[in-house]
A and B are shown apart, each in its own frame.
Chain A
């Protein structure tokens, strides 16, 4: 068998398009041994999902095997880094709402949040080493979520198991980022103060002047900048 035909045959088995027995007959190999590869390849994607969506997986435990199996079939991994195989899961999960018992739009938001936690951890951006002015944290992402996921995750991490929350009246903006000093992944629900600080940092504004232009006192502006720097949403010079 030519190399291209061999790889096409193997590929169909790995993707579940052909049965192991059919592939083994074509390749002239032991079907039990061929099944090892089929199981490994599927298992790698399932492991990536398990690791990246820890809370979502636990909440959806009864349907999780069916979900991860269907995701493997529907979304072939297209990147050499294994975690990237999990990146499309939140968007795919959204298409599954109504098809699996207990799967709610909240779980889609939660999965988006969990993926962004990993993305912030792995983000390749370098922190400005010696910023001369406040700068936005280059690892920051903003999620617009219909459900109060940040509060749910905070309660979860504190050991409180709460029921899936109802949708909010208006979507909630949540920032996820790697802290410039500790390297830990942080999240913050957007507040007026954080949005102000981020705007000042992104546009290189004078915070006191920016505050004055919206009728706010200088102390409030400086307090907002200090808080945003403390939580790590903006990067400032040490000290």
Chain B
């Protein structure tokens, strides 16, 4: 079944579609290989965001990325959310859609944040069953992303890398590997980031995220609001050397800079990947 994930295309180097760039992104088509659509930023909106999304679907390869699926929640999968995703997928035909390995709502309340799951067999089985349920409903390949997290629970039955592998293999889904998250988590929880990268199922890595973070001293916060640091670039090169070419996206969601600055950062990502492959 892993051939399915290997067969998905390397889309190149992409950016998120942000309101700040609605006017100029279409003029820079040659410099942006694909666009990532933040699902919740477009799914509930008509008007200009919807018009821009339709144009983007006509002019760029798109992928969808969500934060509110809450795949690990003990609540049932939300029908309205899954139906809305399925309708959006039908409309814009993304190459794949993704969300995070976490829970972001429970007991009927939305947190609008990504809360980590325990690394337990029960959680593996719970998430894998829900991903299979989701994939039966939405006609599009689905990827899970390794989230950044700040707390580790007592009673872990496996490592984070083992947990990630178990979930994606048992669910038979793709992996969106966030290399910045690996770096942030490794620093916050004191493990070897390269060993983590070596342990994930490379054959399922369909997309990579890169982003900036903020070091507060006692903890690093995954902000998506700064340039990518050199250490994350090094980890990205280490990753690409193992996975081969993979669609890579620069995430910059807060304090979004001018498009030229994003393109500059994306050029560095492109060069890093080329060097790693050679």
Which B residues touch A44, using CB under 8 A? Answer: 111-113
Q: Indicate with 1 or 0, residue by residue over A53-95, a CB within 8 angstroms of chain B CB atoms.
A: 0000000000000000000000011111110110000000000
Q: A33 contacts B68, CB within 8 Å?
A: no
Q: A37 contacts B73, CB within 8 Å?
A: no
Q: A77 contacts B46, CB within 8 Å?
A: no
Which A residues touch B154, using CB under 8 A? Answer: 1, 27-29
Shortest CB-to-CB span from A101 to chain B, Å, is 30
A121 CB within 8 Å of chain B: yes
Known: A7-B103, A123-B47, A124-B45. A27 touches B153 (CB 8 A): yes
B221 CB within 8 Å of chain A: yes
Q: Indicate with 1 or 0, residue by residue over B204-227, a CB within 8 angstroms of chain A CB atoms.
A: 000000000000001101000000
Q: B48 contacts A183, CB within 8 Å?
A: yes
Which B residues touch A8, using CB under 8 A? Answer: 106-107
Complex Cα gap A166–B232 (Å): 58
B26 CB within 8 Å of chain A: no
A169 CB within 8 Å of chain B: no
A36 CB within 8 Å of chain B: yes
Q: B106 contacts A7, CB within 8 Å?
A: yes
Residue of A nearest to B78 (CB): A80
B272 CB within 8 Å of chain A: no
Known: A1-B118, A29-B153, A32-B218. A80 touches B110 (CB 8 A): yes
B109 CB within 8 Å of chain A: yes
A30 CB within 8 Å of chain B: yes
Interface residues of chain B, those whose CB is within 8 Å of chain A, are: 40, 43-51, 68, 72-74, 78, 81, 103, 105-113, 115, 117-118, 120, 122-123, 126, 150-155, 218-219, 221
Complex Cα gap A121–B45 (Å): 8
Q: B44 contacts A3, CB within 8 Å?
A: no
Interface size class of A (residues with CB under 8 A): 35 or more
Question: Of the candidates B47, B78, B109, B117, which one forms a contact with A122 in the assembled complex, judged by CB atoms under 8 Å apart?
Answer: B47
Interface residues of A in 43-57 (CB under 8 A from B): 44-45
Q: A33 contacts B150, CB within 8 Å?
A: yes
Which B residues touch A45, using CB under 8 A? Answer: 112
Complex Cα gap A124–B155 (Å): 46
Q: A29 contacts B151, CB within 8 Å?
A: yes
Q: A80 contacts B81, CB within 8 Å?
A: yes
Q: A81 contacts B40, CB within 8 Å?
A: yes
Complex Cα gap A2–B117 (Å): 11
Shortest CB-to-CB span from A141 to chain B, Å, is 14
Could you list 19 examples of A-B contacts with CB < 8 Å?
A: A1-B118, A3-B74, A3-B126, A4-B74, A28-B155, A29-B153, A32-B218, A34-B150, A41-B113, A77-B112, A80-B78, A80-B110, A81-B44, A85-B112, A122-B46, A122-B49, A123-B46, A124-B50, A183-B48
Which B residues touch A30, using CB under 8 A? Answer: 151
Which A residues touch B106, using CB under 8 A? Answer: 7-8, 10-11
7 closest Cβ contacts across the A-B interface?
A28-B154, A80-B68, A124-B46, A29-B151, A44-B112, A76-B109, A33-B150
Complex Cα gap A141–B72 (Å): 38
Which B residues touch A183, using CB under 8 A? Answer: 47-48, 51
Complex Cα gap A80–B40 (Å): 7
Complex Cα gap A75–B45 (Å): 23
Complex Cα gap A27–B219 (Å): 19
Complex Cα gap A196–B205 (Å): 60
A6 CB within 8 Å of chain B: yes
Q: B113 contacts A3, CB within 8 Å?
A: no
Residue of A nearest to B46 (CB): A124
Residue of A nearest to B109 (CB): A76
Which A residues touch B117, using CB under 8 A? Answer: 3
Which A residues touch B40, using CB under 8 A? Answer: 80-82
Interface residues of A in 154-192 (CB under 8 A from B): 178, 183
